[in-house]
Amino acid sequence: MKPSKQNNQIVSFIYLFIFLIVPFCSIGTGFAESNIVTPLKIHSEQCIKIISALEQYHYLGKKLDNAMSAVIFDRYIKSLDPSRQLLTQEDMNRISQYKYRFDRDLKKGNLTPAYEIFNLYLSKSVLRLEYLLSLVKTWEKDMDFSTDDVIIIDNEIRPFQKTPEDLYLLWKNELKNHIITMKLDNQENDKISESLEKIYTNRLKRLSQTNTKDVFQIFMNSVTTSFDPHTQYFAPRVSEDFDIHMSLSLEGIGAVLQNEYEYTKVVRLIPKGPADKSHLLMPGDKIIAVGQGKDGELKDTIGERIDDVVKLIRGPKNTYVRLKIIPAKKADSTTTISIKRDKVKLEEQSAQKKVVTITQGNETFKIGIIEIPNFYIDFAAYHRGDKDYRSTTKDVQKILFELKDENVDGVIVDLRDNGGGSLKESNDLTGLFLKSGPVVQIKTKHRISRLYDEDPSIEYTGPLVVLINRMSASASEIFAGAIKDYNRGIIVGTKSFGKGTVQELKPLGDGKLKLTSAKFYRVSGESTQHLGVVPDLKYPQIYKIKHTGESSLDGALLWDTIRKTRYNAYRSLEPVYASILEKYQERVKHAPGMIYLKKRIDLTNQVNTQETLSLNLAKRREKIELYSSQELENENEYRVALGKPPLESLDDDGIKRKDSKEIMMEQTHYVMADFITVTAKLGYTW
């Protein structure tokens, strides 16, 4: 197949930003109450430039007005006090005078109101930490861990406290919860006191190091993310570190991170990277401390700038980093994991094939599986005219030739955890499975363009299944959406990420502005934004929707539609879906792996739906022990069903558990067998 040359300028422009990009927002640090942070003239000038660029170039074409001013105010307060543990309702009433004037102030470069709010936040932060340090000295004799008090852990439902006295009670309960967590981690009282004093002292020190540049970036990112969560201002220091953020996937542990409130949250894992291979870390986990080596001291990272956390996690190949995390599946406890640093090997990031043979009924099926971790291309070689440049499409084309030689009955394209990559490759790869036609529509503020597969040849004409999950994003969604719209194959798995926007990086003085400039639409006219691609056959949802995917980001652009473009779809697969769904539902009733997954998901959901935590130590311990026993029981039911000996505990060394991806892939083998049988019976051809 000849890769399409049309719209090369658009393709090159979009390449960098079709990756799953998440906002990297710095958490505010500060300095002593006696100091006041004030803006510099250069910040006022930069502010005016940023506002002008946002109004001129952002996809939505928004103008700053009173409504936008209110959004910016709320976003700014949330960035400073996300858990509503610093500002009282009285404070909010006082600073609400600024809520509808940011639009006028920003256009003039007047940053005084924003800095006044920050200084209030700063003084309350210092007060809180000093109070917590005073409690650390006497907690052993002053705190009762047998009462039935609770603390709200869902920040969305916690109200602002009415009085300063209410804040002190909240802070005391916060410390109590911290101590309970450490006790459940089997730490001795003297060690707890020592650790807490060090943690809160270090946080005070970080507050003292905040300067006016930090405040400017925090506030300006409250402004930019009010347009959409992928629009962000990079100050000079962060601008220099931008490549580090973007290349974190290639060295260290292979994880994409972002700030969420005071925590560093794992957004996604790079397929085949160290974290992914370890099976110890997953999207939604929150990193609260980082240590070097297998037994290095853990350094508290709550409230740390994300670039500082990144520097702690990154390190030389073959060294270990320890992470203390709040697991996404178990939000009321912490655990410490150790991951060996490495570089993601390029050959492991390329498309890989596998052939499996399964028996279903009286028939045997040979199935080819193509795993695509990302959409890659050697753009330098491509633009030089080098015919042997490396790319996803060329590698998959070669694999398809091999699979045809092996006489496979069907092909599964596995796009799980594929966060995107080159738009050109998404377009060209789709062309391997279609005769010709448009693949994706790209809408800017002023026009709609389309990328086409112009080559009428088709490399593979047999049954096709595309497997996606919540971490399949951007270019993956374009491919899956096109296959779905053309009725070229069946999409199975879970709803995809929903990253359907394009970002452009604009130099702005000494910094940079990353802003959303376009949006993707399928040939059917449906956006991939926010909603993602909905599979034809849905598997159990492993990742918690509330904490992962585009829809979990504040202010994410919504799903919408544009006019359907002209394309020649294959015969509708609607008659096939019902038959396959019926067979799938009957099969999973008795499939040990799917039964195990459903129980595991239900158990996790029970933990994650709680809005409060008990401050009774015995009750917390009892709840964790109950969860662990249920988890062990589920694990052993699954092992017995597979003919394996049960575990004594979940910590048994040398036990390799089958993860959810393997279980779902096994199920997909049978879905493919059903698809082959049903489409052959009904006379489908492609």
Name the catalytic one among 124, 172, 394, 499.
499
Q: Which helix (H) or strand (E) holds 364?
A: strand 363-371
Contact 502, 521 (CB under 8 A): no
| Catalytic residue flag (residue 499) | yes
In 463-552 the beta strands, taken as DSSP E runs, fall at 464-468, 490-493, 501-508, 511-521, 537-538
d(CA 143, CA 518): 55
Find, among 492, 463, 488, the residue nearest to 680 by Cα: 463
Task: Give, as one character, the DSSP assignment of residue 248.
Answer: G
**Main-chain dihedrals φ then ψ at residue 150, nearest 5 degrees:** -135, 160
The answer to whether 484 and 536 are in contact (CB under 8 A) is yes
Upper half-sphere CA count for residue 372 (Cβ side, 13 Å): 39
| Candidate list 474, 476, 517, 660, residue with the active-site label | 474
Structure tokens at 258: 């972002």
Long-range own/partner contacts, residues 396-404 (CB < 8 A, 24 or more apart): 396/351, 396/370, 396/372, 396/429, 396/432, 397/1, 397/432, 397/459, 399/351, 399/353, 399/368, 399/370, 400/370, 400/432, 400/459, 400/460, 401/459, 402/353, 403/353, 403/355, 403/368, 403/370, 403/460, 404/460
The two structure tokens encoding residue 440: 């994706």
CB-side neighbour CA atoms (13 Å) of 577: 14
Choose among 422, 423, 22, 421: nearest CA to 245: 22
- Please list the helix, strand and coil fractions of the chain in percent, rounded to the nearest 5, in that order: 45, 20, 40
- Angstrom distance (rounded) from CA 50 to CA 58: 11
Give burial (CB, 10 Å; 0-12/13-18/19+) of 569.
Answer: middle
Degrees to nearest 5, angle at CA 600 with 598 and 604: 115
- Paired tokens of 598: 């459903």
Query: Cα(437)–Cα(483) distance, rounded to whole angstroms?
Result: 12
- In one letter, which amino acid is 47? C
Residue 366, token pair as written in the block: 């040979």
Beta strands at 251-252 and 342-343: parallel, antiparallel or unpaired: antiparallel
485 flagged as catalytic = yes
Question: Of 276, 485, 536, 674, which one is the catalytic site residue?
Answer: 485
The tokens describing 664, both together, are 């779902």
Active site residues: 474, 485, 499
